[in-house]
Structure 1
């Protein structure tokens, strides 16, 4: 099940809201976490029915690990190792088994091993996200940042909570433990959540999918046949698509959480307004960046063991960040690409420049680096990426391809220009609690526009069936 579907919007979501708030009439608030758990499992059943027992079983394992670490503190390290090995082992198997077989098939064949009977391993939806959530819990219990949760329903609800189950943001247990037990639902928060969800849905259905039509054609076209203008339009369109698509999902997840009294941390902070690549990674997919920082980069030594060790740690973290995104050499190359530029910023001292110095030029250069990185990320393989770069920088100005001109009708042009405002937004700042500072509810007029114009427009588009899946569903 996806958020941008009529079934979710007009059947599933009203049902869970009615059940959630209806239980107050009979049981006050004692059943609210159980209701969210049951509906979250139902949500997962629609998308991955074969893996619902896998989700439940892995949840019970980490619940037990947390309890054992509190009860038997002398063996905490062993319990943590068990959690890490099982979680990462399952993630590696489901996500990378097919990739490793493809890469080693020829070599194994020469050794006499027949892989012709290999059955493709199917990837459970959302495994990259809920695996990292469960690991953050067991690691934080081990570190003493929080005690294990006693109520298995509360923990299972935390892992499976449907707003962020499939594509994040990665919500840490320590950030919402108090909310799991003592959250307060209010009409103002419910209205703000509905507005945030509807705005995210509009970003996805109206803007991101429009950009996706340009990007899909450009990257689906033979790279050798692309002219420079078409290649750049495709690269910029994908740059806009992946931001609008993923930030839209985060908006929708945050909005849905607010409907039930939760306050998730922000996952994006105008990343294309960054003035360095270091700044970009403070603003892009914030929950993932912080996860790698706190659970990998800092334990490796961070920047505390000299420059050479810092550069090695950065490179390793971003290689793993790239590999986390998928089993393809393009993702590894994309991670290495970002790690290389982050190391270069440290060596040259660019990351220490005052924010107001050469800000316009630095924003332009950072955006250019990011756009080129997305070309690697979007390409089917490394040779495709190389061909696409060749088209981008060959200065072939023969004229835009016919397919590109056909797409530039009035509606698509206007929507593409609206989407392009994401490239020029002023930078914002996150407060100490991870929320955007000075964030206010949209004024009443904007709410009227969202609910009376954008939301019905989204419904019409969804009814037509002309939708792209969320990009991060594949991860």
Structure 2
């Protein structure tokens, strides 16, 4: 069951109705069973991995709460970390590890037929954050195993985030006082519709064009693969932020607040600013639980640059078991380290608007350069595409295979830029104008009907 499907709309509508009819003290049970059902619609066997992770981290949290000094807590933290990382390593990285070993040795192996469990990178990071916070005394471990299980498996954000912190989400499950609020419904439904528009119209339309170029990159050069790369930048933003909008909107209707995951990242003036605005729940996780624990910026400049690069290399590896993802992460680590060396992010913020604009344009192109490695399946293909981009023979000859799709993309990008500002303003408003929101809903529904791609493709980040 994916968000951009009739199945999810029916499921969520029926669930919401029963949720608000049920007595508040029983709602957590409905939420938990529905979250498990939601996940089992994909592959029922993998629900046992979520239950395993839940039981291990619940047990470790309780045991750490019974210890008064860090040394006594440490074994339980290690159990949590090794259990979650062990799951992640086996299902996501085992074949990649063996493949990498075979490249530098005479060892040959038969790859295992391992299916990557949906959402495993997200819920393992969420539960590890819980255990680390419990170890450091930042939170009081949850004693109610059912509500802790709900924290691990809450269906709106289970398979692709946002990666929530225990001190933000768990208290919301403990209150048991959610009542239906019209403002929550209007704001949540607007976010859901806008997320669907971003996914089924923009992201899926652009995907058709990008695949036609990247899938046959040898046939194109110059501005054609360059333009496809620009479009992929928009595609992945609309795809992932569209998912986040649907997740946040679904939770909002039920009365729960999830963290903001994107903040117009392509308007950033530097790469440092970009990572404060792109996939915020992951970038803040990497900062708080990896970068700072490596030493952050506390041990001098050289160690700071090292820590930035290591953090982003591992952030790239988190996205997938591929050298392309590692290179993508390494490039961003290098960009961040260089900006740190020259104190670029702070300096550019004080410059005139024209220089900030030029800096933003440059940052966007660096991000797009790295996206080539993210989008391509192999390193050879990445290099091939970059080579074709800098082939200046007939550089400006933009080749368009399907003028109708191309025109629809350009039109919807312009509409999107207008709608995003309107929807953002609506979400932060304290008073909701029924006429205004009805008009926005009607426009979004009409655009989805007219331009939506009907195949119901998965969100890109579901594979991570």
> Taking structure 2 as the reference length, what is the TM-score of the superposition?
0.92
Alignment partner of 1:153 out of 136, 146, 152:
146
Aligned twin of 1:448: 438
2:33 paired with 1:38: yes
How far off its partner does 1:440 sit? 5.8
SS in 2 for 1:340: helix
SS in 2 for 1:377: helix
Query: Are residues 352 and 457 of structure 1, via their aligned partners in 2, closer, same or farther at CA, if it must alter by over 3 Å?
Result: closer
- Find the aligned partners of 2:297 and 2:230 in 1 and give their Cα distance: 34
Alignment partner of 2:54 out of 50, 59, 65:
59
- Find the aligned partners of 1:48 and 1:355 in 2 and give their Cα distance: 48
Aligned twin of 2:2: 2
- Find the aligned partners of 2:384 and 2:85 in 1 and give their Cα distance: 35
How far off its partner does 1:281 sit? 0.3
How far off its partner does 1:324 sit? 0.3
2:295 paired with 1:301: yes
- Find the aligned partners of 1:56 and 1:460 in 2 and give their Cα distance: 42
Q: Is the 8 A contact 1:62 1:138 kept in 2?
A: yes
Query: Are residues 436 and 195 of structure 1, via their aligned partners in 2, closer, same or farther at CA, if it must alter by over 3 Å?
Result: closer
Aligned twin of 1:280: 274
Q: Is the 8 A contact 1:201 1:248 kept in 2?
A: yes
2:385 paired with 1:391: no
Aligned twin of 1:413: 410
How far off its partner does 1:404 sit? 5.5
Alignment partner of 1:216 out of 199, 206, 211:
211
Aligned twin of 1:244: 238
Aligned twin of 1:263: 257
Aligned twin of 2:81: 84
SS in 1 for 2:88: helix
How far off its partner does 1:3 sit? 0.6
- CA displacement, residues 308-336 of structure 1 (integer Å, 9 cap, x when unaligned): 00000001000000000000110000001
Alignment partner of 1:378 out of 352, 375, 380:
375
Q: Is the 8 A contact 2:272 2:336 kept in 1?
A: yes
Aligned twin of 1:473: 462
2:326 paired with 1:332: yes
- Report the number of matched residues: 455
Aligned twin of 1:403: 401
Alignment partner of 2:306 out of 301, 307, 312:
312
Aligned twin of 1:139: 132
SS in 2 for 1:299: helix
How far off its partner does 1:441 sit? 6.9
Runs of 5+ in structure 1 lacking a partner? 429-434
- Find the aligned partners of 1:378 and 1:54 in 2 and give their Cα distance: 29
How far off its partner does 1:195 sit? 1.6
Q: Is the 8 A contact 1:318 1:336 kept in 2?
A: yes
Query: Are residues 296 and 22 of structure 1, via their aligned partners in 2, closer, same or farther at CA, if it must alter by over 3 Å?
Result: same
- Find the aligned partners of 1:285 and 1:412 in 2 and give their Cα distance: 24
Q: Is the 8 A contact 1:6 1:459 kept in 2?
A: no
How far off its partner does 1:230 sit? 1.0
Query: Are residues 95 and 23 of structure 1, via their aligned partners in 2, closer, same or farther at CA, if it must alter by over 3 Å?
Result: same
Runs of 5+ in structure 2 lacking a partner? none
- Find the aligned partners of 1:363 and 1:402 in 2 and give their Cα distance: 28
What root-mean-square deviation, in Å, do the aligned CA atoms of Structure 1 and Structure 2 show? Answer: 2.5
Aligned twin of 2:63: 68
- CA displacement, residues 138-170 of structure 1 (integer Å, 9 cap, x when unaligned): 111111111111111100011100000001110
2:455 paired with 1:458: no
Aligned twin of 1:15: 14
- CA displacement, residues 82-140 of structure 1 (integer Å, 9 cap, x when unaligned): 101111111011101121233334666x45xx634x43111110000000100111111
Query: Are residues 380 and 443 of structure 1, via their aligned partners in 2, closer, same or farther at CA, if it must alter by over 3 Å?
Result: farther
